[in-house]
Structure 1
Amino acid sequence: MSQVTVIEHPLVQHKLTLMREQERSTAAFRTLLREVALLLAYEVTRDLPTELVDIQTPLAPMKAPKIAGKKLVFASILRAGNGLVDGMLDLVPSARVAHVGLYRDHDTLEAVQYFFKAPTNLEDRLVIVVDPMLATGNSVVAAVDLLKAKGARDLRYVCLLAAPEGVKRFTEAHPDVPLFTAAIDEKLTEIGYITPGLGDAGDRLYGTK
């Protein structure tokens, strides 16, 4: 499990608890997800490479660190992934965004692709894949498969909640991709929902059923 990091920062855990509550409104859920996303992005980017550049302060010239290399990419697994991307862009507004459209077949629980659009030169960029819920793991495994096929070599995956079954599926399929999450819950239900979980993140984010 060395590739799995559970982010236990008190603010992350507090906001996750608020999001789990059944009576939490759509607007509040959306705001909390955006706030948690910023905190998760802080953790997953803490080791980005930097380089010294020459700048001029109001008092003197100096060498100061800036992030090195091409702009990183946030790869959103539609639709719920967009709720995480919004908060992450607050922290890294210059990042590029990829969209991976997948839906889960309710009979087989397998991921079905319907859309894919990504920036160029993925092989030269850090790609951070985002989706709030790691349930069966089928969707994110398929998404990372697609991104690797398009040239991505340096990937990380960030989710809000994970089930043990999904963690096992993902780490076995992509042992080279670090996984960051706020919590690993008890198990999956028979129909593939994380329990105790927080329900369907997309429905709660957008007020749908």
Structure 2
Amino acid sequence: MKKEMKRIFTAVAIVCAVFLFAVGCGKRVAVDPGDEQPAVEPTVTETEPAHTPWEPARTWPGEAEDESLDDTAGADLAIKEGRTSAPLLPVYYDFDRSSIRADQEERMVHNGEYMLDNPRVRVRIEGNTDERGTREYNMALGERRAMSTKKYLIDLGVAAERLETLSYGEEKPISFGRDELSWSLNRRSDFVIIQ
């Protein structure tokens, strides 16, 4: 019985090896060096390409020269990114990090000032991640992001009882691509006004 099992196993291994070898060796085409076409240098234009509807702006809100976060009509600010309630702004993170990036601190200050100016507003901070990593790990990372954002707002003077946290992990992406741009849009904390 052992010899028969050994023969079957050996036969299966040989068939698999031949199959893998055949798949790995694609048909190769010989190219005559005289048939090669000369390389054509692409031309580069100096104009900036127009943004398509799905392409995000190259600057964060508040960074463009003509846009100010200190606008006195803050309630009229028509910014809505992710699931964040206007006039609040979402905060974006580096891969596998939960600390507030330096380029996102202005957004945090804007959110803190809005909450201090509107003492009845309560906010749910929703931590999000991109799809990479296990579900459990991403839920924990989303929670760490929401908590670090909450701590930042508390340090700015916002009362802790006005802030709730929730982690969605990778469960509620806003961009469904499988590239760095899409992943970077999904690594964020949203600020949702709940009262």
TM-score (norm 2): 0.29
Quick check: which has more Rg, 1 or 2?
2
Q: Which has the higher strand share?
A: 1
